[in-house]
Amino acid sequence: MSAISQLWEADSIAVIGATERPGALGRKPMDYLLRYGYKGRILPVNPRATEILGVPAYPSLRDAPSPVDLALIMVSAERVAGAVDDCVAAGVPLAVIASSGFAETGPEGAALQADVVAAARAGGLRLIGPNCIGAVAYNSRVLATFSPLFGADDVPFEPGSLAFVSQSGALGFGAASLALQRGLRPGWVVSTGNDADVTVLEVLQELAREPECHGLLGYLEDAPDIEALKSISESGKPVALLKSGRTEAGGRAAASHTGALATDDRVLDAALRRLGIARVDDIDELLDVAHAFEFPLRPRGPRVAVVTTSGGSGILAADAVEERGLELSDLTPESKAALAEIVPAFGAVDNPVDITAMVLSDPTLFDRSLDVLIADDTVDIIIACFCVMASTDVQKAVTSLGKAARKGGKPILVARTGADFLAPDAPAMLREAQLPEYPTPARALRAAGALWQVSRPRTPLAPVAAGPGAVPAPASGATEPELKRLLSDAGVRVPAGRLAQDRRDAAAAVREVGGRAVLKAVVPGLLHKTEAGGVRLGVTEEGAAEAYDALRALGGDVLVEEEAPDGVEVIVGMRGSALGPVLTVGLGGVFTEILADAGHRLLPLAPGEAEQMIAELKGAALLTGARGAAASDTAALAELLERVAALAAGWPDGFELDLNPVRVLPQGVVVLDAAYTATG
Amino acid sequence: MSAISQLWEADSIAVIGATERPGALGRKPMDYLLRYGYKGRILPVNPRATEILGVPAYPSLRDAPSPVDLALIMVSAERVAGAVDDCVAAGVPLAVIASSGFAETGPEGAALQADVVAAARAGGLRLIGPNCIGAVAYNSRVLATFSPLFGADDVPFEPGSLAFVSQSGALGFGAASLALQRGLRPGWVVSTGNDADVTVLEVLQELAREPECHGLLGYLEDAPDIEALKSISESGKPVALLKSGRTEAGGRAAASHTGALATDDRVLDAALRRLGIARVDDIDELLDVAHAFEFPLRPRGPRVAVVTTSGGSGILAADAVEERGLELSDLTPESKAALAEIVPAFGAVDNPVDITAMVLSDPTLFDRSLDVLIADDTVDIIIACFCVMASTDVQKAVTSLGKAARKGGKPILVARTGADFLAPDAPAMLREAQLPEYPTPARALRAAGALWQVSRPRTPLAPVAAGPGAVPAPASGATEPELKRLLSDAGVRVPAGRLAQDRRDAAAAVREVGGRAVLKAVVPGLLHKTEAGGVRLGVTEEGAAEAYDALRALGGDVLVEEEAPDGVEVIVGMRGSALGPVLTVGLGGVFTEILADAGHRLLPLAPGEAEQMIAELKGAALLTGARGAAASDTAALAELLERVAALAAGWPDGFELDLNPVRVLPQGVVVLDAAYTATG
């Protein structure tokens, strides 16, 4: 049993700083453990009490009977180190430090936090927190928390299958309370505060192993660890993450909150997509997605059919499909013909399928049209929309929809645009039929998009290591000719050419490449070569000597190269990131620099991923032949991306390789310039 | 009194097709009028009944006592024309046609609909519908609807101040029911179905005149009429519109639903922004915005301060600010200093201001920090976030927040991330204090963005008419030299030059412009001049004859022009649209064509709007001097936009003017090419 799983498996819990004083935070966990019927042993620790709320108390943890599976530390910051020492001495595997006054307050608090973590690690104790609100496990009734959530009069407390793990305790328990209000079933809520030892992702990893856990929901502020993300992804459990600090303003706020730094958000997006982890933008969306996770059916593809009793809902659904990375199915001609027999004249048989409010007088309309859609192989997900329906009508619709979903093994998400007072038992009926429901079509589609994101086939993001095609990393500051040799050896085309020895030799070199050449200064450390006058285009034999002299004057060698054919210029780069090596491709010049039109992927690439990166560029039409220009060889560009990825596999952290520009020709690609920096 | 206002002012209502038969649609309006206590006269019309639900019935409307203020027509499609004739004969000002079977079913139904509308118009009768669910007015208890919403057991029925007007009856009443569930107060719900006569916007115009109406919410599928939008905007009432069919898929679905066509969505965005009308993307967002409209405080600017008891909520709020067109205030140094005295060490005084959960033990934290933010002139809107708070704590917070909002006259929107069961009286307390509340920070910001959108200073979108700077429209197919003369006369710079008479004269013309020139073929109807070989750059006196011959061979005249200095190329265009003339500016070439990086505005431009269009281009950095290049004269470009707008004011509908390219120089702009087509 891992230390972290004590959050839900502990048979004995010490509450260090427990008190009977009404209103005190140290009383709350005692109240909650007693109120909700925790079955294990409760060990309040308080030097000035022999009994708390009828439970025998101990002056120190060292006096309490062992074993203690979990300690909740609720004393003031300066007394936490002592409590941690006591936990180590008592052989406690896991402590939750609720106390504030650590890294979130500044350098002094950060030092105190570092000391506490070091002591715990040395003593084999894992820590949750500090500066957190603790944790609850609904199934086992372990409550190591002082959250006011459990003090309310009518708080639901049932077993559940959803795990909410959050750096922010207030948001974590707030989200859980909203989930309960919606009728969702949280099984675990864990807040990790400063993430000083155990992180949000570690807790999610541990929960991914719990058979009763059907959905993992995380809120995090710190940059996530890629290995932890991979491990969670490999569990096969559906995961949605809300990572804040996405914008500059949010990033600044995050940095001042818990010392978290905004990481490269777009790289994280790419990584999460690759790992099949849904990323959400708000607590509201997190809950919508969590609800979809509660039920077992998963889409086998992104194609959506909308069946609706209201034309308006159908249009809103169609509007939302694309934005969520899904596609509106065209339906087969057979389906359309079959639907034409079923749907009333004032409805619609093209997707969205509008069966109209006639369904109220003819409830078989849902059954019959769903039969068609379930049988249609171009449909992976069904969105069913209805508005303002009373209980008896909802009951009929739910029966049809539940039967169809089970029969077809396709998820059906319901947009019920009507208040609960119209059909008070609708939420229960829909839950019973395992149909996730949302108040609007757009929200049903938002959840459907996440469901596809966590269900789509994945290629594992294996550890990046040297494999076929890998070469040793160049020396930092390797020159352009050195890098081009390395690329050429790896089968990448670079312009023919060589260094010129002197003015005369420059003319000879120009002749060798066909009588017109590009001359370039090779000066280590010279950035922005073009701006510095270090590049001469269209140099003839006659002009070679003058050009050579001018470039030589910049202080380095002179490279003579053939002129490359016309083509479209792109940038290819690779660099280290907090998540591992990142491959980038962008259209050249202003496209990348001003419009940030570049795609990023973590390595290793999945099959087809290089092509996808290119196709996703906003300016991709430039490569595929815009304005009557010839189409460029995007297949060759994709191959270059794969070669570069293979080449640099296993290069040590902290480097930047820039191939800029790479010219994409009607046939093939050629790398016109290359630079490498080791920054590690 | 207008005909449309009978929807809420009618003193007598005829229900044509009323019946006692249980479950029949024709019974429902009778049930509702009786159940909810309509004070006027109810006149059921049914040829086979003398009494319906105890109310005397009439075989035909012609037999009913006059006056009849409002008729609800619930008979089958083929009998609607007769009912309409009866209404005309009885002098009824307004009829609601609930019946289906009209334009939504195809050409035959469309013809029937056209006949009915023609008969009504000839007889002075206005029509709502057909194919609609009718309308309700909560304040006057007029129910001309069969919506199942009013048949539920515990449906709230109180006066309200929000108007929901929707083409889709199902969505309209569905949204209203969700509004009621949230505790919002709808006062009017009107569905207009096929919009055959009275449109959604006409109803909103009428409701804008109602003193008790505080917010106008519309759902529409058809392209809106600009004059109606202007009139609604001028009422000063806050308006939010959900216009579906935004995407291609949604547009197709809309077209098959009610014959609506997707209009140019980006032009509509521009128009609504200009008119101070908020545009929303989902019913959910419509309700969030509606709630903000219920209370009177309005922001005087876009600058937001976030005050939070949870660091996590603060980060999420900061993340959402920019996306909503708002700005995070920097706060004044004085405010920060004052906050540093108030906020605990583990909180934060930079915006977001994190007063921490310490507020639970020291409720004055809210009061004291709000005092600072309310007094800070860099703050226009306050977002207050708290999580998982119990009633007593919510009460304290609400008291502080309500007092501060009133004192400062600044809107405070609350993000209360906690379930209602934690504080069952919180919604009532917040409503009493006139504080709109949302479950998450992102949703509070979404509503705040709309609040600013409807509150920002507007320049009226006056009718476009010829004014100073206007000139008559060119002839269709006017040549490049003709258009350039027109531009030049209007003070716009074009390249110096003239038509060449012959080979010899071409050389002379080249000499006149400095010895190097651009030669262009002037061939009416020749599009894509460059691709057709119709442009020669860098022509010298020596080359003039050959170039002249080559261009002359294309079949038209030859224009000789000076070479323009280097600069950044942009496209300026103007064309008619369903909403009026639209001015467009975009960066040249691939930027506009591939990346759709162009800004659109309806005319006339507001002061500063031309500058704004330029600044909003994604590639604006190209103009302001990217990559070390010289900055271009964006002021001159803005002036050009204004000149072009003035020039074409009053040109007849259906034209396209393209200035492509326009070169923006370090000083000034020059129009290099111009084309004009009359398409009307």
β-pair type (A655-664, A669-671): antiparallel
What's the confidence (pLDDT) of residue A258?
Answer: 36
Q: How far apart are CA A283 and CA B211, in angstroms?
A: 37
pLDDT of residue A267: 79
Which of A278-282, A392-396, B165-169, B607-611 is least confident? Answer: B607-611
Return the residue matching tokens 């998982």: B388
For the cut 90, the answer to whether the pLDDT of residue B648 exceeds it is no
* Cα A437 from chain centre: 24
**List of chain A residues whose C-beta atoms are within 8 Å of the C-beta of residue B174:** 310, 313, 387-388, 417-418
Which of B101, B316, B352 faces A346 most closely, judged by CB atoms?
B101
Select the residue from B132, B387, B593 to test the A interface by mutation, using most A Cβ atoms within 10 A. Answer: B387
Q: Is residue B261 very low, low, confident or very high in pLDDT (cuts 50, 70, 90)?
A: very low
Q: Residue A259: pLDDT band by 50, 70, 90 thresholds?
A: very low
Q: Residue B148 is nearest to which of A244, A348, A388, comparing CB atoms?
A: A388
Chain B residue with CA closest to A392: the answer is B152
Distance between CA atoms of residues B201 and B224, nearest Å: 7
Residue B290 above 80 pLDDT?
Answer: yes
DSSP code of residue B590: H
A502-537 pLDDT, tens per residue?
A: 999 999 999 999 999 999 999 887 777 877 889 999
Amino acid at A312: G
Locate A331 and state its tokens. Answer: 């339906």
Q: Do A170 and B417 touch (CB under 8 A)?
A: yes
Cβ separation A253–B357 shorter than 8 A: no
Closest CB to B257: pick one of A354, A420, A622: A354
Residues of chain B contacting A314 with CB distance shorter than 8 Å: 253, 257
Q: For B315, which of A155, A257, A622 is closest by C-beta distance?
A: A257
pLDDT band at A172 (very low <50, low <70, confident <90, very high): very high
Query: What is the distance between the alpha carbons of residues A76 and A83, in angstroms, rounded to a whole number?
Result: 10
Partner residues linked to A73 by β-bridges: A16, A97
The pLDDT tens digits for B542-584 are 999 999 999 999 989 999 999 999 888 899 988 877 777 888 8
Residue A591: pLDDT band (50, 70, 90) is low
Q: Which residue has the higher pLDDT, A524 or B69?
A: B69
Closest residue to B257, CB basis, from A100, A242, A311: A311
CA pseudo-torsion sign A236, A237, A238, A239: negative
Q: Between these two residues, B249 and B51, which has the higher pLDDT value? A: B51
Q: A107 to chain B: which residues are within 8 Å by CB?
A: none
Q: Is the dihedral of CA B378, B381, B386, B391 positive or negative?
A: positive
pLDDT band, very low/low/confident/very high, at A264 (cuts 50, 70, 90): low
Find residue B242's DSSP bridge partners.
Answer: B219, B280
Which residues in chain A have their CB less than 8 angstroms from residue B149's CB? Answer: 388, 418, 422
Residue B421 and residue A152: Cβ atoms within 8 Å? yes
Q: How far does B675 lie from chain A, in Å, by closest CA? A: 19
DSSP B489-550: HTT-----EEEESSHHHHHHHHHHTTSEEEEEEE-TT--STTTTT-EEEEEETTTHHHHHHH
The pLDDT value given to residue B271: 86
Query: CA-CA distances (angstroms) from residue A315 to A146, A303, A441, B221, B257?
Result: 46, 16, 9, 9, 8
| pLDDT tier at B646, thresholds 50, 70, 90 | confident
Chain A's closest residue to B528, CA to CA, is A627
Closest-CA distance, A83 to chain B, in angstroms, reads 21
Percent above pLDDT 70 for chain A: 94
> Helices B77-89 and B107-122, interaxial angle, to 10°?
10
d(CA A123, CA A94) in angstroms, rounded, equals 11
Single out the residue of A361, A371, A360, A362 nearest to residue A307, CA to CA: A371
Distance, CA of B237 to CA of A261 (rounded, Å): 43
pTM for this predicted structure: 0.89
List the one residue out of B288, B272, B275 whose CA is nearest residue B235: B275
3-state secondary structure of B388: coil
Interchain pair B147, A388: CB under 8 A: yes
**A260 has a pLDDT exceeding 50:** no
CA angle A315, A317, A322 (to 5 degrees): 110
Percent of chain A with pLDDT over 90: 73
Residues from chain B that touch A589, judged by Cβ atoms under 8 A, are 627
> Would you call A258 and B311 a contact, using CB atoms and an 8 Å cutoff?
yes
> Which residues of chain A does B419 touch, with a Cβ-Cβ cutoff of 8 Å?
177-178, 180-181
More confident residue, B490 or B376: B376
Residues of chain B contacting residue A309, judged by C-beta atoms under 8 Å apart: 170
pLDDT category, B587, cuts 50, 70, 90? confident
Q: Give the pLDDT confidence score for residue B529 in this predicted structure.
A: 80
Residue whose structure tokens are 């949870």:
B310
- Segment B455-474 shows an average pLDDT of 75
**Residue B157 neighbours by CB distance under 10 Å:** 16
Structure tokens at B121: 């118009």
- ipTM of predicted complex: 0.88
B175 CB neighbours in chain A (<8 A) are: 417
Q: For residues B299 and B451, give the distance between their C-alpha atoms in angstroms, rounded to a whole number.
A: 7
Nearest to B371 by CA among B355, B358, B395, B347: B355
- Judged by CB atoms closer than 8 Å, whether chains meet at B168 and A628 is answered as no
Q: Cβ B619–A590 below 8 Å, yes or no?
A: yes
Residue B503 burial class via C-beta count within 10 angstroms: exposed 0-12, middle 13-18, buried 19 and up:
middle
Average confidence score pLDDT of chain B: 91
**Range in A334-348, A574-588, B342-356 the model is least confident about:** A574-588
Looking at the predicted structure, is the pLDDT value of residue A592 above 70? Answer: no
Is the CB of A254 less than 8 angstroms away from the CB of B328? no
- Secondary structure letter of residue A420 according to DSSP: G
Checking if the pLDDT of A620 tops 70, the result is yes
SS (H, E, C) A178-196: HHHHCCCCEEEEEECCCCC
Indicate whether B268 pLDDT > 90: no
Cα radius of gyration rounded to whole Å, chain B: 31
> How many residues does this entry show for chain B?
680
d(CA A147, CA A180) in angstroms, rounded, equals: 15
> Which one of B166, B311, B626 has the shortest CB-CB distance to A257?
B311
B350 vs chain A: nearest CA distance in angstroms? Answer: 8
Least CB-CB distance to B168: which of A101, A282, A311? A311
Q: Is the CB of A315 less than 8 angstroms away from the CB of B257?
A: yes
Q: Which residue of B has its CA nearest to A282?
A: B442
Give the best residue of B388, B395, B420, B440 to mutate against chain A (max A CB count within 10 A): B388
pLDDT digit string, tens, across residues A437-448: 999 999 999 999
Measure CB to CB from residue B253 to each of A101, A314, A357 and give the nearest one: A314
Q: How far is A559 from chain B (nearest CA, A)?
A: 25
First to last CA, chain A: 38
Q: What long-range pairs does A605-612 form, CB within 8 A, spacing at least 24?
A: A605/A641, A605/A642, A605/A645, A606/A274, A606/A458, A606/A459, A607/A459, A609/A274, A609/A459, A610/A637, A610/A638, A610/A639, A610/A641, A610/A642, A610/A645, A611/A635, A611/A638
Strands annotated E in A420-492: 437-438
CB A5 within 8 A of CB A11: no
Residue with the bigger pLDDT between B263 and B111: it is: B111
Residue B541 tokens, joined: 């006196």
> If you count residue pairs, one on A and one on B, with CB atoms under 8 Å apart, how many are there?
313
- Using CB atoms, pick whichever of A180, A247, A531 lies closest to residue B419: A180
Residues of chain A with Cβ-Cβ distance to B281 below 8 Å are: 319, 442
Between A77-89 and A107-122, two packed helices, what is the crossing angle to 10 degrees? 10
Nearest to A257 among B156, B314, B321 (CB): B314
